């Protein structure tokens, strides 16, 4: 029965792949849609037993991360919070030297995941390094990586520590290198909790408590920290960023140049919640990439965030090409002064 179900889901995924490839071939297709088509083709190479169901909005995140980071042959790429995702294996297929890292030692499955894809050769695995590392303070040397990808993980780092993580990412990034990160967003996260308490794991008592906090102190509306208790999941810390907290907690602490930022959403939370919460819809999972292409649109105006409660945000940050030279010059001046 399990093999039959996998075959059905895989065949559905192949149908979705052909539809997305068709959509990606149109002149009006966004760059991330074309990237998603390549990602899906790579995912299909895992076969019916090992291909990965990628959730609705995550299709957008994966494609944005790859599209904006533009990994290439010979680059050293760090994927932070890899877990058991297919992203490190896809990065490996581009010819990059890939470091898959996570705080949890479960990341050690990445070697097996890469071997499960028919396009990855055994010699390619020599370019894969799997690390158990905490991005808030790593053992990597300064200016080590050409690209750093942080896919939907900063929102699970407690308030304040997310800024530490960004400073560490900037330290280990090469001059001229690029950091791409994605994260959950909402202009008013409390409103998101009010609208979808069950999905987010909050009881009515929780809602009343939050409302009372906001009534006493309106500035609490800008606190986006929550402990999420989703049904069937372990309790986990998460937060929702908005334009202000993105700049204050992620961009400015890094000291990197903000090259691009944007948001993607579909205007509702219904589809995301539907696929996340209902077991019987696993037979419809193959529809998710198609729906993400058709319904998720980019918007740049942060004032529209309240209309996009299921939105994700992304930032592209770069380290100035002369950053390393300035440090070297300062070190040389210091050594000259010591010699005198």
Mapped onto helix, strand or coil, the DSSP state of residue 52 is coil
Domain of residue 320, residue span: 2-185+240-339
Tens of pLDDT, residues 271-330: 766 676 556 677 788 899 999 999 888 887 776 765 555 688 999 999 999 875 554 443
Question: What pLDDT band is residue 241 in, cutting at 50, 70 and 90?
Answer: confident
* pLDDT of 334 over the 50 cut: no
**H/E element holding 77?**
strand 76-80
Among 67-81, 103-117, 185-199, 252-266, the least confident range: 185-199
Do 153 and 229 lie in one domain? The reply is: no
What CATH number should be reported for the domain holding residue 334?
Answer: 3.40.50.150
Among 6-20, 175-189, 320-334, the least confident range: 320-334
- Alpha-carbon distance of 101 to 126, in angstroms, equals 16
Query: Which residue among 217, 238, 259 closes a domain?
Result: 238
Do 320 and 217 lie in one domain? The reply is: no
* pLDDT of 340 over the 70 cut: no
Predicted local confidence at residue 176, as pLDDT: 96
Predicted local confidence at residue 25, as pLDDT: 97
Do 192 and 304 lie in one domain? The reply is: no
Burial class (CB in 10 A: 0-12, 13-18, 19+), 196: middle
Predicted local confidence at residue 316, as pLDDT: 97
Do 164 and 230 lie in one domain? The reply is: no
Do 63 and 208 lie in one domain? The reply is: no
- Among residues 223, 292, 219, the alpha carbon closest in space to that of 33 is found at 292
- Alpha-carbon distance of 59 to 37, in angstroms, equals 10
Burial class (CB in 10 A: 0-12, 13-18, 19+), 285: middle
Do 194 and 247 lie in one domain? The reply is: no
Do 167 and 268 lie in one domain? The reply is: yes
Predicted local confidence at residue 115, as pLDDT: 95
Do 156 and 256 lie in one domain? The reply is: yes
* pLDDT of 171 over the 90 cut: yes
Both tokens assigned to 270: 């219904």
Tens of pLDDT, residues 28-85: 999 999 999 999 999 999 999 899 988 888 899 999 999 999 999 999 999 999 999 9
Question: CB–CB of 63/49 below 8 Å?
Answer: no
Give me the number of domains the chain comprises: 2
Do 111 and 181 lie in one domain? The reply is: yes
Do 207 and 122 lie in one domain? The reply is: no
pTM, 2 dp = 0.85
- Note every long-range contact of 205-214, with CB atoms under 8 Å and residues 24 or more positions apart, other chains counting: 214/190
Do 262 and 191 lie in one domain? The reply is: no
- Alpha-carbon distance of 105 to 119, in angstroms, equals 26
Q: Please give the average per-residue pLDDT across 152-176, as a whole number.
A: 92
Do 153 and 106 lie in one domain? The reply is: yes
């Amino acid at each position: 029965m399990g093999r039959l179900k996998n075959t059905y889901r895989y065949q559905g995924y192949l149908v979705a792949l052909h539809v997305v490839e068709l959509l990606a071939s149109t002149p009006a297709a966004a760059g991330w849609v074309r990237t998603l088509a390549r990602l899906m083709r790579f995912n299909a190479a895992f076969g019916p037993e090992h291909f990965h169901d990628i959730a609705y909005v995550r299709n957008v995140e994966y494609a944005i991360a790859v599209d904006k980071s533009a990994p290439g042959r010979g680059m050293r790429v760090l994927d932070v919070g890899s877990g058991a995702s297919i992203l490190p294996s896809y990065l490996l297929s581009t010819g990059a030297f890939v470091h898959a890292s996570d705080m949890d030692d479960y990341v050690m499955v990445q070697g097996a995941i890469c071997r499960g894809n028919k396009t990855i050769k055994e010699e390619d695995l020599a370019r894969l390094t799997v690390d158990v590392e905490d991005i808030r303070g790593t053992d990597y040397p300064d200016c080590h990586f050409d690209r750093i990808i942080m896919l939907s993980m900063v929102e699970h780092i407690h308030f304040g520590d997310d800024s530490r993580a960004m400073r560490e990412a900037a330290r280990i990034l090469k001059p001229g290198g690029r950091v791409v990160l994605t994260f959950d967003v909402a202009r008013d996260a409390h409103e998101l909790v009010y609208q979808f308490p069950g999905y987010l794991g909050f009881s009515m008592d929780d809602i009343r408590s939050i409302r009372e906090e906001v009534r006493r102190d309106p500035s609490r509306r800008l606190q986006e920290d929550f402990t999420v208790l989703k049904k069937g999941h372990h309790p986990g810390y998460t937060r929702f960023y908005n334009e202000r907290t993105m700049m204050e907690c992620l961009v400015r602490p890094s000291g990197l140049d903000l090259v691009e930022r944007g948001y993607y959403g579909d205007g509702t939370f219904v589809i995301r919640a539907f696929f996340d919460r209902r077991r019987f819809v696993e037979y419809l999972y193959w529809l998710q990439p198609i729906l993400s292409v058709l319904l998720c649109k980019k918007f740049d105006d942060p004032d529209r965030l309240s209309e996009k409660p299921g939105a994700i945000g992304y930032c592209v940050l770069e380290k100035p090409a002369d950053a390393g030279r300035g440090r070297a010059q300062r070190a040389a001046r210091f050594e000259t002064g010591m010699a005198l």
